[in-house]
Structure 1
Amino acid sequence: MSRRQTLKTALVTAVGAALTACSRPPTPATASTSPPAGRWRMPDETHPHELTYMAWPTRRIWGADASGVRDDIAGIARAVARFEPVVLLADERDVKAAAKACGSGVEVLPIPVDDLWMRDTGPSFVLGPDGIAGVDLNFNGWGDKQAHAHDARVAREVLADEDIRRIKAPIVGEGGSIEVDGQGTLMATESSWVNDNRNPGKSRNDIERALKDLFGATAVIWVKGVKGQDITDYHIDALARFSEPGVVVMSTPDPEAPRDVWTAAYDQARGVLDRAVDARGERLEIVELPEPVDVGRRGADFLASYVNYYVVNGGVVLPRFGDARADRDAVAVVRDLYPGRQVVQVSVDTLGEGGGGVHCATQQLPKER
């Protein structure tokens, strides 16, 4: 019985019951090097989830900040577990501590990791006539910027554990560098794809063809992004998200913010999206989600983006930054974008210092339907 079958049974028989960590060795996932064109499609995030994957940060990466970032991850895991099961990967020596911090609604799976960014290291799941598959984007530490011996294997380990078909992508990238509407439209930043630290010798057209084949897209909207200023080379999921087909919510700088590479990237992206059409040939509606202003003294890498939220079954998990007015306004905007879903805010102070947020730390396994 696979983990998904086990979770289905557990939910039917005892909703909210504790899930038991499984220590069996993974079996090899069925792999293919590339999918037949048009066979698979990536559903949008509002598609029902079987569960959410997360990962436990290690001290070898986070050092003195490990306690703080672990508090953030545990807070996110507990928030997500209110809506759907959570499976958290952790080094074997960290399993007990992670389970204690996250509570009984979170299953801790002993799979070695380097870091917590499951959106980037985990598989990006796609659906097709044969069920479900996971795209392994060949994580390389965001262009060899960070040690990733374990994280490079996370996608294949997860797929082997679930006995889900693995699709090895012909390109290198991360899950946070794509955003889909589930209806054939994909958004991406050139800076994190058309980059020699991931895809040397490949043109934007080469990469676009691969993205279309991998994720079932018929239209790709490219924005320029920013190279070399953050570890991800500017992922799309901190800038712009689809709340539904035809509606894009953008992380919007304060009008009084000083001009820099980030405001310039926003302006360029806004211009592109104002003119863009989706896979249906329709113009996009742009919804602004203002960034916080009063976040205290933060490092240069601090990610103050409410757009890096995560949609769960029946809810949305949204960052809280401590700017009371901005936090309150963000909840109101997101409630309007996702009517009928409960919006839960969580603090991500240390996580934000590491350049990421709620969405970066999570990866959904969609239900097959």
Structure 2
Amino acid sequence: MNEHTAGRHASRGLNRRGFLVATGAAAAGAALATTLPEKARAVAGTFRVPVEDVRHTRTWMAWPDSTAIWSGKLSGVQADIALIARTIATYEPVVMCANPGSAARARSLCGSTVTVISSIPVDDCWMRDTGPVFRTDGYGGLDTVGLNFNGWGNKQTHDRDALVAERIAAHVGVQFTRADLIGEGGAIEQDGAGTLMATRSSLVNRNRNPGMSERQLETAMCEAYGASKVIWFDGVYGQDITDDHVDATSRFLAPGEALVQMPVAADDDAFARDARRQYSTLSASTTAKGRAMDVMRLQGPDYNRIRSTNRDFLASYANFYLCNDAVISAQFGDRRADEAARATLQRLYPDRYIEQLNIDRLGTGGGGIHCVTQQQPVA
């Protein structure tokens, strides 16, 4: 859900569907604002969230159908979600969660290669943030952890989305545990070998975790992900609905390897400055095992050359999704930057197909391909 480095103007206000906040925040109430449910069981040191290039059993997605959230934009966003689902489905199974009243339209647009189910209701399409985080134990075991989604700090209605993680876990038939923090999947990146990265602006934030210190959050994050170290970035507070998720700026490629999407030299808004700081921080960091980080640059597009003129548009190549045998990324109409991003991703993933999709309608909501997908790894 990032969001992030994409900011065209530092003072642009909330993106990632900033236009919906007025319609949705009142309905969000105070759900999960102060008290977390008790954990189902302790699993620290047993299960961990693997790095995202492992093989998947399937991809989970969610079908948007709210005209209140997507006022005047819904049909275009649905078309983009369907395009993403159909593309991924050529490489691995895709399960789309849709409300009963919109399941038929989802099936019509997604086609027969995508499985649409209506038993898990949703409010919106951001499965990265609402879905369960799957963990493996290396011995054929699979379980899930839920991050207690609260609408990015009660900025959007989320009565259904708050239950998606637990309901998917029940559908799959695996153990579900609630983390001791409030957050979203897009807020935390993992390398699968003990190291996490995240922005303080998103998690060390009273709209998610009031009264929790950074140290307490580190402990909760590491327990949930099976990790032992967090690399923190300052982030950007209050200028997009996610408070600057990490997954549109910085991504892990493997243990000790990461990339950062860099802005063009002329960009100097809050998100561009944040991206440069993330690169500097990562370059000076070590992994949980003490290895120096190898940090690569992924050049972002020039906002003066992309197709969209929407001020909240997210133009993040870094918000790509890894599925079996492919990298699903976006392209934005800056042809030179689009081709350079493709070449970079092909170099990083030489054994995978690189799919670049035009998802401009989804991008006007401040999100990208990684934001609307959630992988279920092979146990």
1:15 equivalent in structure 2: none
**Which of residues 122, 129, 153 in structure 2 aligns to 1:120?**
129
Q: Which amino acid aligns with 1:163?
A: G
Q: SS in structure 2 opposite 1:157?
A: helix
Counterpart of 2:5? none
Structure 1 residue matching 2:71: 3-state secondary structure: helix
Q: Aligned residue for 1:43?
A: 50
On the 8 A contact 1:125/1:366 being kept in 2, the answer is: yes
Aligned counterpart in structure 1 of residue 274 of structure 2, from 265, 271, 275:
265
- The alignment status of 1:131 with 2:141, answered yes or no, reads yes
How much has 1:144 moved relative to structure 2?
0.3
Higher relative contact order (CA 8 A, sep 6+): 2
Counterparts of 1:155 and 1:272, CA distance in 2? 32
Q: Which residue number corresponds to residue 302 of structure 1?
A: 313
Return the offset for 1:267: 2.2
Partner of 1:109: 117
What letter corresponds to residue 346 of structure 2 in structure 1?
R
Contact 1:251 1:290 in 2 (8 A): yes
Mapped pair 1:182 → 2:189 = no
Q: Secondary structure at the match of 1:332?
A: helix
Q: Contact (CA 8 Å) 1:180, 1:187: kept in 2 or not? A: yes
For residues 160 and 330 of structure 1, what CA distance do their matches in structure 2 show? Answer: 38
Which residue in 1 is equivalent to 2:161?
151
Residue equivalent to 1:205: 215
The code of the aligned residue for 1:280 comes to K
Tell me, what secondary structure is at the counterpart of 1:182? coil
Supply the distance in 2 between the matched residues of 1:85 and 1:278 (Cα, whole angstroms): 33
Q: Does 1:348 align with 2:372?
A: no
After TM superposition, the structure 1 = structure 2 runs for residues 9-48 of structure 1, keeping only pairs within 5 Å, are 32-48=39-55
Change in 2 beyond 3 A, CA 1:297/1:367: closer
Number of residue pairs aligned between Structure 1 and Structure 2: 337
**Alignment pair present for 1:366 and 2:377:** yes
The offset of 1:219, in angstroms, is: 1.7
Moved over 2 A (4+): 31-37, 296-300
The range that moved more, 235-244 or 288-297, is 288-297
Matched-pair contact (CA < 8 Å) for 2:198–2:230: yes
Distance (Å, rounded) in 1 between the aligned partners of 2:350 and 2:370: 19
In the TM superposition, residue 63 of structure 1 has moved relative to its aligned partner by: 2.3
2:236 is aligned with what amino acid?
Answer: V
8 Å contact kept, 1:185–1:218: yes
Among the aligned pairs, what percent are the same residue?
46
1:20-76 CA-to-partner distances (Å, cap 9, x unmatched) read: xxxxxxxxxxx9435332121100111110000001111332121001001110110
Residue 355 (structure 2) pairs with residue 333 (structure 1):
no
Amino acid paired to 1:276: S
Query: 2:293 maps to what in 1?
Result: 284
Q: How much is the aligned-residue C-alpha RMSD, in angstroms? A: 1.3
Q: 1:34 to 1:225 in 2, by over 3 A?
A: farther
1:191 aligned partner, one-letter code: S
CA contact 2:39–2:180 (8 Å) conserved in 1 = no
Aligned counterparts, 1:67-78, within 5 A: 67-78=75-86
Distance in 1, matches of 2:43 and 2:169, equals 19
SS of residue paired to 2:201: helix
Tell me, yes or no, if structure 1 residue 99 matches structure 2 residue 107.
yes
Q: Which amino acid in structure 2 is aligned with residue 176 of structure 1?
A: G
Deviation at 1:127, TM superposition (A): 1.1
2:72 maps to what in 1? 64
Contact 2:260 2:278 in 1 (8 A): no
Deviations 1:153-176 (A, max 9, x none): 111111111111101111100000
Equivalents in 1 of 2:309, 2:202: separation in Å? 24
CA distance in 1, matches of 2:106, 2:60: 14
- C-alpha distance in 1 between matches for 2:201 and 2:176: 26
Cα contact 1:41–1:215 (8 A) shared by 2: yes
Distance (whole Å) between structure 2 residues aligned to residue 87 and residue 307 of structure 1 = 24
